Amino acid sequence: MDKVKVGIVGCGNISDIYFTNCKELDVLEVAACADLDLEKAHQAAAKHQVEHVYTVQEMLDSKDIELIINLTPPAAHVSLCLEALHAGKHVYVEKPIAIKVEDGKRILELAKEKGLLVGSAPDTFLGGGIQMCRKLIDDGWIGRPVAANAFMMGHGPEAWHPNPNFFYQEGGGPLFDMGPYYLTTLIYLLGPVKRVTASASISVSERTIKSKPLYGKKIQVHTPTHISGVLDFKEGTVATLITSFDVWGSQVPRMEIHGTEGTLSVPDPNTFGGPILLKRPGANTWEEIPILFQFTENSRGIGVGNMALAIRKNDEHRANGELALHVLEIMHGLLMASETNSHYFLESTCQKPTLVPQKDFLIK
């Protein structure tokens, strides 16, 4: 099978793990990189032995590049995705797929028109931990799922991120930054969502950067930093989701799925491994479940690999645009429900991606 030649656009913080992991996948060849700051692109190319450094336009014009990995900031996601699709490239984009739902729809409509594929992070749900949870649910270990809870609670990225301003603008905040990990996992385990409601607030209107090189600089906050939501799934499960940048400490679990025959403690959706804990009726203690699937380390990029395999086999891929659009609309729906004191009914939907084979799903 011929490798899919990939170009990475955006050589910031997250790019290192993509360069590293994509080069390890048999189906991919990282052939080029680009960044508006060409010096960043040259540094990344030297570090990861990438042959070509291009401008963004040169990347789009290249006849060799088949798939663009879009690692630009969220505000630039839609423009680069559309440009890449117009140039005849498949696109895999960091989360969220877009800031506005209508822009996400434009991306998918153009891809369909051009006969191209769109993929989107997160791909953590393809890791061994979440895959094992899906198998346990599918095999009936907790009976029928009736409820779920998910908590992402911390105190924001200004303490460690070198340039955290965008986290507090439209398209940022804990919901748009971290929510996709939690929502994608919930959808993968429980199916699509039919309606949501929420309360959301901006608890502090100004943040102070505590990291270098911008230590002491003030950030004006323009998006909610604490969101408490309720999600009704089409298959009947009701879930509670809290995402917050206003919490100094917490001991709540990352995610739990409660069924008629037990409770499953799901590992952090922002990771690929475990632990996985199971509590069955009558048991006095939690049982740790071994993981039978591959990719339990930081494996960002496996979604790109699975998408490349779909390109070669003219097949479906799992971290797909329809899933990403559904996640995007859920996030907007939560904020809109808070603003309007109402429930928001989802227009989009998606299929639950299939369980991956326990071995070699990027090859066979």
Query: Using 50, 70 and 90 to split pLDDT, how confident is the model at 363?
Result: very low
The mean-pLDDT minimum among 33-47, 77-91, 283-297, 350-364 falls in: 350-364
Model pTM score: 0.96
Q: Cis check for the bond before 290: say yes or no (omega within 30 of 0).
A: no
Q: What is the pLDDT of residue 359?
A: 67
Q: 266 with 256: CB under 8 angstroms?
A: yes
Q: What confidence tens digit (pLDDT) does each residue in 197-230 have?
A: 999 999 999 999 999 999 999 999 999 999 999 9
CA distances from 121 to 166, 185, 323 (A): 18, 12, 10
How confident is the model over 24-51, as a mean pLDDT? 96
Q: Supply angle C-alpha 155, 95, 340, rounded to 5.
A: 70
| Two structure tokens written together for 39 | 């010096």
Report the candidate in 160, 90, 364, 138 with the shortest Cα–Cα distance to residue 259. Answer: 138
Residue 243 pLDDT > 50, yes or no?
yes
What is the distance between the alpha carbons of residues 41 and 63, in angstroms, rounded to a whole number? 20
Q: Which residue(s) pair with 228 in the sheet? A: 199, 242
What is the distance between the alpha carbons of residues 346 and 40, in angstroms, rounded to a whole number? 40
User: Helix, strand, or coil here: 24?
Assistant: coil
- Determine if residue 140 is left, alpha or beta; phi over 0 gives left, psi from -120 to 50 gives alpha, anything else beta: left
Q: How many residues does the chain have?
A: 364
CATH topology of domain 4-120: Rossmann fold (3.40.50)
Domain boundaries, the chain: 4-120, 125-292+328-345
CB neighbourhood size of 298 (10 A): 15
Q: What confidence tens digit (pLDDT) does each residue in 80-105 have?
A: 999 999 999 999 999 999 999 999 99
What is the distance between the alpha carbons of residues 36 and 14, in angstroms, rounded to a whole number? 16
Residue 289 pLDDT > 50, yes or no?
yes
Residue 144 pLDDT > 70, yes or no?
yes
What is the distance between the alpha carbons of residues 364 and 2, in angstroms, rounded to a whole number? 14
CATH architecture of 125-292+328-345: 2-Layer Sandwich (3.30)
Q: 322 with 329: CB under 8 angstroms?
A: no
CB neighbourhood size of 284 (10 A): 5
